[in-house]
Structure 1
Amino acid sequence: MAQAASKTCEICVSAPGSQYCLDCEQYYCENCKSLHKRQKLSTNHLFQHASKLIPEGKSRCSQHKEEFNLMCNTCNVPVCTSCVTGNHNGHKFSKLVDVIAQLRGENEKQIRDKTNEANKNITKIVDSLTSFDNAVESVIKAITDESNNIKHMVDKSVAQMIILVKEQSMKEKDKLTQLLSAAKSVLVAGQNLDKRRQDLDKTRPDETMVQQINKMKEEINGLHFESLPEFPKISFNSKAVTEYDIRQLIGSYTLTCLR
């Protein structure tokens, strides 16, 4: 970097070059600068006042010591005017300024396209995350609801089973109670007969006693015991249920993983 000396506009070569284009590495007057900025390829070029520090000079050809002002399209390298008739004779050329402007424009467009694509991808990912979170919450709610429904059905079935056990067992208990009452009646009748027998044994034997003994005998023979049936039994047979069985009752979910 060096302090700029008084320069002439390299475009019109008549007015002072008060402005320096950092992209083209050329001095411009105010008028030529305005025209340069209006062109599509150079509208974004940056200028610096010539009175400020600017680059010492342009890049030069190491062979001819001339400034690079052309671009060899065949070799894709910057060249000077002497190279055109030398090593690059017969090649196709473009102005280096135009090539640089075009390349910068292409890079700008590619960067813009890439950033736009990145923004679109970010939007899609964020939307997908939100949608996925909502879907996860829906699945969790569905699992919870199904679990509560199964619990309700289990509680209802258990309550019905308990009621049925109580009703059936009560019937069997009533039968046993009736058998018990009948057995107690026979016992009381036998105890009464035994008491009469003991009283009769204390009396004097006579014809009346014989009649009473025979009558008692008939009453004793009339005491009947009902044959006892097979008493009721009750037990519970539990069913082996695994966690897998429970999960099968609740249902299943499908998760498509990121690929």
Structure 2
Amino acid sequence: MGQREELIRFLKASRGRISPAEVGLPPRDRRREKGLSRDEVAMLAGMSVTWYTWFEQGRDVQLSAPTLERLSTALRFSPREREFLFALAQHRPPPLIDSSSRTVAPSVRHMLDSLNVPALVLTEEWTVIAWNRFVARVFRDYGAMAPEDRNLFKILLQGESYKAQEDEYRDMVQRLTARLKWDYSRAIRVDVFDALIAEMMDRSELFRHFWLNGDIMAHMEGPNTRILPGLGQVSFQHTSYAVEQEPSQRLMLFAPMDAETVAILARIGAEEDSEVA
């Protein structure tokens, strides 16, 4: 079965499961088909009957993103069904929607707690909303910070300990600003980004320079080394991944780069387990 045939089947099945009464339409006498008719779907989606009919028949009809959004609403699609429609109709994901979610799914929380390496979850504007015990011990305890102070971009650019190594700090600001540019281009909450950018423009000459003249980075990864008092030096390679359940959230993982770091993490884990016991 090709994608066009799957689109036909999907649309027919979707309108067939919705009764007119569910969407406030009067019932028809002697209905020939189960669910909504094509005419009714077209009316609910603000489309012409001809265009919807051709689309459902699999003809070479290109619908705009706003039209597909209205069709998704008319057919009461779930977020996954909406993504499926866009993938079949336009061969690309739908525009991101602002879920305003500041919590993580239980499965993501379980994954964070199960890992033996530092890991955290960021919102699209870089606010840390979830972390595991290794992050609290190796980097900082976000639980001891007010939610409005948990923006990782501001923490990294304004932290005095990062500024101590001038060359490394400059390279970090360049990388972070390049990634922030990419995130800004895809932002849902543009007003939040605008406020963050304006604040950084006022507070950091380096940020201003790289924002106005720097590169763009679509992927966030790189080395991270720090010294933990009483434990020693730890070195990580950090990478980030989109959270499938919530595309506006990003998971950051810190993988140890040497045996010493692995041993220190094991020690931290054992200490945490003994405290719980």
TM range (shorter): under 0.3
Determine which structure has greater relative contact order: mean sequence separation of CA pairs < 8 Å that are 6+ residues apart, divided by chain length.
2
Larger radius of gyration: 1
Q: Normalized per residue, which structure has more strand?
A: 2
Question: TM-score, normalised on structure 2?
Answer: 0.17
Question: TM-score, normalised on structure 1?
Answer: 0.18
